[in-house]
Structure 1
């Protein structure tokens, strides 16, 4: 008996997908601006955003400064006994220090990013993972340099004019880090869970005047501390193939290759790493033919000595958020 399957890309209509793309550019864009740029009513935007949020399909979260978190982070490749991979992936996704978890094609490998201190790293690598009988092998790579992260990827469904209208101005580059007080920290904590919370809602939650909140938000944004990420399953945007490409590039070409990949619209993360492969790129493609073209037309000129392509079967957690398709029910954020 043949089972009918649903293409995830059809679960959101064109307006839903363009709305997600708009929030990829500016996660805190006001409904009025979104409505104006997309050519629909404010009521429509508000209703669509509420539905996407209530079903758990879309969450806009605050990201820390990219370099601060990425450099020194660990990329894990965990081999697991067949039939145990989901349980181990869920255990990793439940950790606050693991913002990214993927199940890899084949059903025996999990890919994860760990951002923790030395004590947390040692507990995970030398006690917790080895103490799990389901884990058969763990490979660890340290991130040495960040070329691009998830916040920089855009699905590309908007026109150039729409992109320009929604792209925020570049933040200032202060000589020293912006000093943060208790109120700043509270604002960032509130936005870390839901980056679209309004100034009025933040003022009510923190018990301060709305004018103060607005002033502080402008200050934090100018310092580049309000980086947002619209977290959604890439299949909903028509990206059916998600792959991690592990490259071995001659040291003299490493920086050039990293910058070239970071500028490519299909790439949603590029990292220089330790280990036998010194460069990892995460790429979204609409299908396998597009991944083949990416390999032959984009990777080939970079001069990599060796390339390993690892296909993601299912994204479990991205940017600290458990991913959900419509009808799957809401999951915790980990």
Structure 2
């Protein structure tokens, strides 16, 4: 399905969007709990979520803790010869250490997030990308601080009361990383593929008794390790424009501006970075007029000295999920 020629309202209706938003709040919420909060039957919830997942328009995966995952990650802006952008984007998306890949409007830039060690980083930046003969320039920003990431964004189809009813109690960040054994890591890896797997399915995947899996998941949840991300094309939620704002902010105001942008409902990521700019904000807007209003009304008063705006033409990979053209539910 090509969403450039298909009305998103014909793919997901209002209830579908509310269900997606429920999973943005808690990706492992049981159908009965969602049904109670939204005032529909559990059977309706199960049927609609199953339909969206089978059609490929919705997938829920586990996301690592924002501090563990984001700080130290690399934000890549790879400029590519025209006609080669799809090849480079797919090659980056095929890597397990790159969870986010976008093709930017204009057809000559690929944006990517890389989470890897120095050896893999250097091989990619100094060897593999130049060896393609298709890359003209690569700009690299290291994430220094994360104010918000994609796992925290909600599309706004729920009331505040509904979102609060579905939200899990906040978990304090441990002072030191909790000890994990092989079973814990196997469960987290499996949830990284599909965070809505049942206890029985997970037990089969990790070859452990279901009762043990239940106990381990309860422990991992108490440790705050079961953050989830509902991966869906934002256009299906009424957000037609996905933009990156590369900002210059006076250093003394960096924390203030980052925190202020992170609270905005359209923003799905805010990161302090190294490189030519020092703050990246990513946001969804209903249209280009909405992006203009954000720039003038929200960004303007914050004292940003320079802003470069880039628009995503096509998302290739989000939260580790390769995106495919969805089929009609």
Same fold (TM over 0.5): yes
- Residue aligning to 2:281: 281
Matched, 1:78 2:112: no
Q: CA, structure 1 residues 313+180, in 2 after alignment: closer, same or farther (shift >3 Å)?
A: same
Contact in 2 for aligned 1:174/1:223 (Cα 8 Å) = yes
Counterpart Cα distance in 1 of 2:68 and 2:103: 26
SS in 2 for 1:129: helix
Indicate conservation of the 8 Å contact 1:248/1:279, yes or no.
yes
Deviations 1:132-151, CA, capped at 9 Å, x for gaps: 11111111111111111100
SS at match of 2:131: coil
Farther-moved stretch of structure 1 (124-133 vs 179-188): 179-188
1:185-204 matches, within 5 Å, as 185-204=185-204
1:177-326 aligned at under 5 Å gives the runs: 177-326=177-326
Judge conservation of contact 1:103–1:110 (CA < 8 Å) in 2.
yes
Alignment check: 8 A CA contact 1:75 1:140 kept: yes
Q: Is the 1:233–1:325 Cα contact (8 Å) retained in structure 2? A: no
Q: What residue is the counterpart of 2:160 in the other structure?
A: 160
| More deviation, 175-184/102-111 | 175-184
Measure, in 2, the Cα distance between the counterparts of 1:97 and 1:5. Answer: 33
Contact 1:8 1:325 in 2 (8 A): no
Does residue 64 in structure 1 map to residue 64 in structure 2? yes
Distance 2:265 2:165 in 1: 19
The Cα of 1:328 is off from its aligned counterpart by: 8.6
Counterparts of 1:25 and 1:218 in 2: how far apart (Å)?
18
Partners of 1:204 and 1:104 in 2: how far apart? 40
Distance in 2 between the 1:323 and 1:110 partners?
A: 15
**Alpha carbons of structure 1 residues 9 and 282: separation in structure 2 relative to 1, 3 Å:** farther
Counterpart residue number, 1:126: 126
SS in 2 for 1:205: helix
Secondary structure class of the residue paired with 2:130: coil
When the two chains are superposed, the root-mean-square deviation of aligned CA atoms in Å is 1.6
Distance 1:253 1:203 in 2: 49
Secondary structure of 1:130's aligned partner: helix
1:39 equivalenced with 2:32 (yes/no)? no
In structure 2, distance between residues paired with 1:87 and 1:19:
35
**TM-score, L = length of structure 2:** 0.95
Q: With structure 1 as the length reference, what TM-score do the two structures score?
A: 0.94
Matched, 1:12 2:12: yes
- Given that 2:56 and 2:327 are in contact with CA atoms closer than 8 Å, whether structure 1 keeps it comes out as no
Matched residues, number: 326
Unaligned runs of 5+ in 2: none
